[in-house]
Amino acid sequence: RIPAQTLSEKLQQFGLAIDGVMDMNGDRLNDITVGARGMVVLLMARPVLSVSAKLSFSPSEISLNNFDCILRTETTFPIITLTTCFTMAESTNSTGDANLSLNISFRLTADAVRQDSRAFFEQTIKTSRSLLQSVLLSSQHSCFNNTVYMLNCVKDTLSPLLIRMNFSQVEQQPGSSSAVLNMDSRTMAYVEVPFQRNCRENVSCEADLELDFKFMNSSLLVVDQAYFIITVSLLNKGDDSFNTSIVLHYPPGLSLSKFETIKANRRTLTSCGDRDDGALNKTTCSISQPVYRSKTNATFQGIFRISRFYNWNDTLEMTLVASSDNNRNFSHGSVRKILPVQYAVDLSVSFVPELSKVYLPFTHEDRGPKPVIIIYSVKNLGLKGLPVSLSFLMPSQISQNFTLNKHTISVSQNMNNCSIIMEPSSICSMWISCVRFQCAFSSLEPESDVQFELRADLTFHNLQNYTGRWSFHEFRLEDVFSPYAKLGFDQNRYTQISSGPADDPSKGHKAEVSVRIEMVVPPDMIMIWSCGGGGGFLLLIIITVLLLKCGFFKRKGPYSMCYEKEQEGGKEGQLGEGDMCGEGGVETGPGVGHDGKEDVCSTNSHGTDLSPAREGQPLIASGETEKEEIKNNNAAKEKCQE
């Protein structure tokens, strides 16, 4: 249909007559004459060209060497050079003088059947998935080249890149275009650009993924801010594996904080968590996107953070699944394992000495019975409440001398589920008999401190055997017994940390107390005083007898010596100088002798009167008896008076 207005606005009744059997210009093409009111319009015929299009590219496949989805930096690189070729052929039989040229417009579209294109035509514009160009086809064969680009991270490197081309004749032809496009020409062309493949068969790649993993601990220990580690191994025994991934399925109480390669025979990178839409029980980790090469063997380490607030079951179940986008994937790609779950707890039982009474002294005046008071403290310093059982062992008969009775137990918290058990002698170890208190907590809450008070009356038998005896020294009878408390819990479900010694934390689960009993009998003071006085008197007698035996009491006094001296001399005047009755000796009294000299027997050299004439004052010499002294003095007195 040719509207008149497109030719001239003055045309009226255009198409009133038509004639198309004449060649007006001799080009072997019939021209058309169209009549109008007062005018004739000559429409010159032009050659009709049939155009075919073909797309080609180089290189023959898209190399995977430049793809790396692990690195977060985004780069652009050319993947192929696309060549668009047009071939023209005249569909009419015109003369050779006609100028065979055609002005067309063609559009290239990358990834035509995908919503999001992996390729684009302008290096700096990632959204340029289409390219529109207008060209003049002036020769029988015309080709045009365009470069196709991709980003360094393309998730799908298995599906080929489909490029579509559409072309049409430009409606407004320039003056150099003298032909028209044959409406029967095929105006669309396609080409598929494959990605590089290392396959044993060209048709498809068959990956063979072998997956395994293991736990680094024998149990999952639930501790605040703790980590849980697994190691994962992935071996590709088949062809290249495209878009390989490992999906980790685990309880919501775990959260994957790191997944990294720790060993590999070629460069292997990972990226996790970008395909899970916030899921709490799984994580998808991409492995060496886009291709996990054939014969690649890598070991990965996964580190999980443990939540203590999650209600854990008795066991942890974890499943790992390896997959790829290959058409066939012969793999041992799913592994499921189970691990016991344990809560970390911090429990301790200890003796409280400042509140207890564990020293019991007995005397002959304080014979008892005496109360034994033992205080134990049970603490939960951890972050998890748990059922706890407590066992307290105390003797009832320690020995033949000491017994305990009236055993009672009281708890700082309301707890009525304590029972007392009479144990056989085989359990009591060093005691003759004993009792056991068995208590249980349905839940010992975190940060709690519960005190248990154990009481019993201690009686001392056969006290009369140790009192009322004559003894010079103090008598002591001592005995020691060691009751203990033991704490228990489900060790398959819980494990102890922190409180106990570094070599054995479970030592904090038992507390042993030493109770000391002492019987003191003081010495008999009356017997000591009696024996001391009698011994002193006996010693005096012995000393006196020894002095008599030695002749101590037979020594001569001064008057006796003077008398004997005179007897030996025959007369008083013969007393020599220095004798007791001579000069310088002892003077017996005042006066002068018959020879005109002073009477030496009356006074001494100091004029002291030695005369025994004074009544009531007899002279007693040291070491002689009174009777003998008086006798000797009287004899000496008579001699001196003569």
Which pLDDT belongs to residue 308?
A: 84
- For residue 307, the 8-state DSSP code is P
Which range is least confidently modeled, 28-32, 51-55, 413-417?
413-417
Q: State the DSSP H helix or E strand holding residue 480, giving kind and residue range, or none if neither.
A: strand 475-481
- For residue 575, the 8-state DSSP code is P
Per DSSP, the three-state class of 87 is strand
Q: Is the pLDDT of residue 134 over 50?
A: yes
Which pLDDT belongs to residue 363?
A: 76
Which pLDDT belongs to residue 492?
A: 85
CA–CA separation, 497 vs 489, rounded Å?
13
DSSP letters, 250-263, are: --TTEEEEEEEEEE
Which range is least confidently modeled, 170-174, 188-192, 277-281, 318-322?
170-174
What is the sign of the dihedral through the CA atoms of 282, 288, 293 and 296?
Answer: negative
CA–CA separation, 231 vs 261, rounded Å?
10
Q: Is the pLDDT of residue 292 over 90?
A: no
- For residue 613, the 8-state DSSP code is T
Least Cα distance to 235 among 336, 337, 331 occurs for: 331
> Which amino acid, residue 570?
G
Angstrom distances, CA of residue 601 to CA of 194, 576, 587, 616, 629: 165, 13, 4, 20, 17
Which pLDDT belongs to residue 383?
A: 80
List pLDDT tens digits, range 76-113.
Answer: 999 999 999 999 888 887 775 546 788 889 999 999 88
| Residue 73: exposure state from Cβ atoms within 10 A (0-12, 13-18, ≥19) | exposed
Which pLDDT belongs to residue 297?
A: 93
**pLDDT band of 25, cuts 50, 70, 90:** confident
Which pLDDT belongs to residue 377?
A: 93
Which pLDDT belongs to residue 78?
A: 94
Mean pLDDT, residues 165-179 taken together: 73
How many CB atoms neighbour CB 318 within 10 A? 21
Q: Is the pLDDT of residue 6 over 80?
A: no
Q: Which of 80-89, 268-277, 458-467 tops mean pLDDT?
A: 80-89
CA–CA separation, 51 vs 142, rounded Å?
11
CA atoms within 13 A on the CB side of 243: 13
> Which amino acid, residue 217?
N
Q: Which of 480-489, 521-530, 631-640 tops mean pLDDT?
A: 480-489
Mean pLDDT, residues 472-488 taken together: 82
How many CB atoms neighbour CB 427 within 10 A? 13
CA–CA separation, 211 vs 235, rounded Å?
7
Residue with the bigger pLDDT between 369 and 24: it is 369
CA–CA separation, 66 vs 74, rounded Å?
12
Residues in the chain: 642
**pLDDT band of 616, cuts 50, 70, 90:** very low
Which pLDDT belongs to residue 430?
A: 79
Beta bridge partners of 219: none
Beta bridge partners of 357: 373
Least Cα distance to 100 among 133, 134, 137, 135 occurs for: 137
Mean pLDDT, residues 62-79 taken together: 81
Which pLDDT belongs to residue 572?
A: 46
Listed in sequence order, the residues at least 6 apart from 248 whose beta carbon sits closer than 8 Å to its beta carbon are 256, 259, 282, 283, 284, 285, 302, 318, 319, 320
Mean pLDDT, residues 302-312 taken together: 90
Least Cα distance to 220 among 495, 609, 483 occurs for: 495
Q: At what angle do helices 558-569 and 626-641 cross, to 10 degrees?
A: 40
Q: Is the pLDDT of residue 619 over 50?
A: no
**pLDDT band of 588, cuts 50, 70, 90:** very low
Mean pLDDT, residues 161-170 taken together: 92
Residue with the bigger pLDDT between 336 and 475: it is 336
Which range is least confidently modeled, 409-418, 514-523, 544-553, 615-624?
615-624
Which pLDDT belongs to residue 79?
A: 93
Least Cα distance to 129 among 104, 148, 151, 106 occurs for: 148
CA–CA separation, 51 vs 187, rounded Å?
8
Which pLDDT belongs to residue 414?
A: 62
Per-residue b/e over 450-479, b at no fewer than 16 CB within 10 Å?
Answer: bebbbbbebbbeebeebeeeeeeeeeebee
Which pLDDT belongs to residue 587?
A: 44
Q: Is the pLDDT of residue 471 over 90?
A: no
Contacts of 413-419 with C-beta under 8 Å, sequence gap 24+, read 413/450, 415/439, 415/441, 415/450
Q: Is the pLDDT of residue 563 over 60?
A: no
List pLDDT tens digits, range 373-412.
Answer: 999 999 988 888 889 999 999 888 888 778 888 989 888 8
> Which amino acid, residue 254?
L
- Cis amide linkage into residue 160, ω under 30° from 0: no
Q: Is the pLDDT of residue 570 over 90?
A: no
* Strands of the 130-137 sheet, one edge to the other: 130-137, 102-110, 161-169, 188-193
Mean pLDDT, residues 217-243 taken together: 88
**pLDDT band of 499, cuts 50, 70, 90:** low
Q: Is the pLDDT of residue 545 over 90?
A: no
Which pLDDT belongs to residue 327?
A: 65
